[in-house]
């Protein structure tokens, strides 16, 4: 959550936009409360827009359940994240969304 801007938005398929850091944290709390569940992502492309203050990353993602002899991949998909250069010089997520492969 450290990378999210205070005014960030999370869009998820089939639901309303979740707006603001606190609301995103609450939305994700149940998911990340399970210590055996991991969100794994692999960036495949990234760029910075001409203003030098906004950028994007996109790539593959998967939710994986650990345990047993090997991890069990529950869902795979693609994501896109939009970033803004913050006043302290750190990049912050301003929009995050993705879709499953199924």
Compute the half-sphere exposure of residue 26: CA atoms within 13 Å on the CB side of its CA.
7
Q: Tens of pLDDT along 13-30?
A: 788 899 999 999 999 898
Q: Tens of pLDDT along 39-93?
A: 999 999 999 999 999 999 999 999 898 987 777 888 999 999 999 999 889 999 9
Q: Decide if 36 contacts 18 (C-beta within 8 A).
A: no
pLDDT band at 101 (very low <50, low <70, confident <90, very high): very high
What pTM did the predictor assign?
0.87
> Any idea what the CATH number is for the domain that residue 53 is in?
3.10.450.50
Residue 54's domain comprises 4-100
Compute the half-sphere exposure of residue 80: CA atoms within 13 Å on the CB side of its CA.
7
Q: Is 30 helix (H, G, I), strand (E, B) or coil?
A: helix
What was the pLDDT predicted at 3?
92
What was the pLDDT predicted at 67?
83
- Beta strands 4-12 and 91-100 are parallel
Number of domains in the chain: 1
What was the pLDDT predicted at 87?
87
């Amino acid at each position: 959550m450290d990378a999210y801007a205070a005014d960030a938005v999370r869009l998820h398929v089939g639901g309303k936009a979740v707006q603001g850091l606190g609301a995103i944290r609450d939305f994700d709390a149940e998911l990340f409360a399970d210590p055996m569940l991991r969100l794994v992502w692999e960036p495949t492309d990234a760029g910075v827009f001409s203003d030098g203050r906004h950028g994007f990353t996109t790539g593959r993602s998967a939710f994986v359940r650990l345990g047993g002899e090997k991890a069990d991949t529950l869902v795979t998909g693609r994501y896109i994240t939009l970033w803004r250069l913050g006043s302290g010089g750190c990049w912050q997520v301003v929009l995050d969304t993705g879709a499953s492969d199924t």
